[in-house]
Amino acid sequence: MKKTAFTLVELLVVMAIIGAMLAMGIYAMVQFRRTIQLQQATSQILGIIKETQNLAKNNTLEKNVVADANFDKYSFGYFLVFKDFNIYRALGQRLQGPGEVWRIRGSLPATGLKSDIFAEVQIKPVNCYAVVFINLTGDIIIQQTAANVPQDIDTSCRLQIQHTQEAAIYKVIDINIINDTYKIESVE
């Protein structure tokens, strides 16, 4: 007599194989989604850096800046402050002359520049609190603490952009004050 049906063991083996393949496929899709989120966040952060540098190079000031009697005694620049896993942009100023320090003009904005893309991505600065892009020149200064004292001990600010669900998925943006450049470093 010919056997025309599958046995229960054969069906269970096939179902186990399909289940294992589905589990591997779902894990790969989740990892891919996290990598895409990280790439989008990195692109957005680079866009924020480029936009801030362009504002500084083009000497663009905010609309609420009013020229007063001492206006010509100041140099202006844009701060990018990295705080609470967010990025804040604020106009800064410095009295012209030796020994003067950069200060944020007013206070930090209430909301940062992070969008919904960043919901599962954290920004962790290493060796810096803020980066200042100086108007007209586009030169970069690293500020390592929240105090208004630039400390140029290190020549770079490293931003580690990391996925909250998977610590192994991250990228590093290195902002270098010697070359006035920023770049993404490959992390293997």
How would you write the pLDDT of the chain (188 residues) with one tens digit per residue? 676 888 999 999 999 999 999 999 999 999 898 888 888 888 888 898 888 888 888 887 777 777 777 778 888 888 898 888 888 888 888 888 777 788 888 888 888 887 776 778 888 888 788 888 888 877 888 877 766 555 545 577 888 888 888 878 888 888 887 777 778 875 64
Number of structural domains the chain divides into: 1
Residue matched to tokens 């005694």: 73
121 part of a folded domain = yes
3 part of a folded domain = no
95 part of a folded domain = yes
Give the predicted TM-score (pTM) of the model: 0.78
Q: Which domain holds residue 14?
A: 8-185
Please say whether the dihedral angle defined by the alpha carbons of residues 68, 72, 74 and 75, taken in this order, is positive or negative.
positive
